[in-house]
Structure 1
């Protein structure tokens, strides 16, 4: 449903939220390992999230990435998805046709309007903090 980049972004934000709550800044290597993502890919995703002020990066020997509690409690999953994937999860054709829309629907278009609307509502109503609170570290490749 979401691109790999978006999945990695969501997992990275949750992982950073857990680590930041303990006062830790985390390097890209550790994040990549924890979310089972290639380092270069993780770096690119974190850069996108940093540009939009979702995560913060600190350079230097005591640096790393972190996320503020305020960001976690005020940022919806929909915002993360939009930063990384845009709104195509709500608009793109389920079957991948370029010409599929309300005026020229594919056979699945009308069947999934409600599903897409519900997905959007759920993502908008769920903050990053909700997932941080509900997901255990056992979901990550964390040592």
Structure 2
């Protein structure tokens, strides 16, 4: 459902939030290792997250990526998805057709539309803090 870049972006953001809660900045290399993502691909994803102000980047010897603790509470999964994939997840046809809409629906249109609507609610109501806390408590994981 999400692009590979978006999957990595979500995982990276959760890891950065988790590290920020511990008062640590993390390097792109550490992020890539922790989320099991290719380093160059991770760097591009991180650039998009910085551009959309989801994460912050500091250069230099003690640099790295972090998220302001106040922002961890307000960032929603939808913010991350928007930064990486835009809003196409809410608009696309379940069968990949270009002409599918309410007036000319594909065979899956109505069922897929309700799933997209539920997905939007979940993404817009899930905050980064709850995901990072679950990781911190060991209730979830980011790497197999």
Q: TM-score range, shorter-chain basis?
A: over 0.9
1:115 is the counterpart of 2:112: no
- Aligned Cα root-mean-square deviation (Å): 1.6
Deviating runs (4+, > 6 A) in structure 1? none
Confirm or deny: 8 A CA contact 2:76 2:126 kept in the other structure. yes
TM-score (norm 1): 0.93
1:140 is the counterpart of 2:138: no
| Aligned residue in 2 for 1:55 | 55
SS, match of residue 102 in structure 2: coil
* Structure 1 CA distance for aligned equivalents of residues 38 and 101 of structure 2: 35
SS, match of residue 65 in structure 2: strand
| Aligned residue in 2 for 1:69 | 69
* Structure 2 CA distance for aligned equivalents of residues 110 and 138 of structure 1: 33
Confirm or deny: 8 A CA contact 1:33 1:141 kept in the other structure. no
Gaps of 5+ in 2: none
* Structure 2 CA distance for aligned equivalents of residues 61 and 20 of structure 1: 17
How many residue pairs align between the two structures?
142
Query: Could you say if the C-alpha distance between residues 137 and 42 of structure 1 is closer, same or farther in structure 2, counting changes exceeding 3 Å?
Result: farther
Gaps of 5+ in 1: none
Query: Could you say if the C-alpha distance between residues 47 and 59 of structure 1 is closer, same or farther in structure 2, counting changes exceeding 3 Å?
Result: same
Shift of 1:68: 1.1
TM-score (norm 2): 0.92
* Structure 2 CA distance for aligned equivalents of residues 47 and 8 of structure 1: 13
Confirm or deny: 8 A CA contact 1:8 1:35 kept in the other structure. yes
Alignment of 1:75-94 (within 5 A): 75-94=75-94
1:41 is the counterpart of 2:41: yes
